[in-house]
Copies of this chain bind each other. A is one copy, B any other.
Amino acid sequence: MPKLGMEPIRRRQLIDATLASLHENGFADTTVSRISARAGVSTGIVHHYFQGKGDLLEATMRAFSSDLRQDVVRRLKRARTPRERVEAVLAGNLAPMSFSAVGVAAWLAFWAQVPKAVRLARVQNIIIGRLHGNLRHALRQMVPLADAERIATGLAIMLDGIWLRAALRGGKPDAAAARQLLIDYLDCQLAAQQQRC
B111 touches A115 (CB 8 A): no
Contact between chains at B188 and A115 (CB < 8 Å): no
Q: Which residues of B contact A141 (CB under 8 A)?
A: none
A114 CB contact (under 8 Å) in B25, B168, B181, B188: B168
A154 near B116: Cβ-Cβ < 8 Å: no
Task: Give the chain B neighbours of A73 by CB distance below 8 A.
Answer: none
Which residues of chain B are within 8 angstroms of A159 by Cβ–Cβ distance? 161
- The interface stretch among A6-14, A26-34, A83-91 is A26-34
A153 nearest CB neighbor, chain B only: B181
A interface size (C-beta, 8 A): 39
8 Å CB contact of A191 from B28, B113, B181, B192: B192
Residues of B close to A108: CB separation below 8 A: 111-112, 115
Residues of B within 8 A of A111 (CB): 108, 111-112, 164, 167-168
- The reply to whether the CB of A15 lies closer than 8 angstroms to some CB of chain B is no
Instruction: Check A192/B188 contact, CB under 8 A, given A112-B27, A116-B25.
Output: yes
User: Per a CB cutoff under 8 Å, which of B115, B160, B168, B184 touches A154?
Assistant: B184
- Map CB proximity to B onto A90-120 as digits: 1 under 8 Å, 0 otherwise: 0000000000000001001101111110000
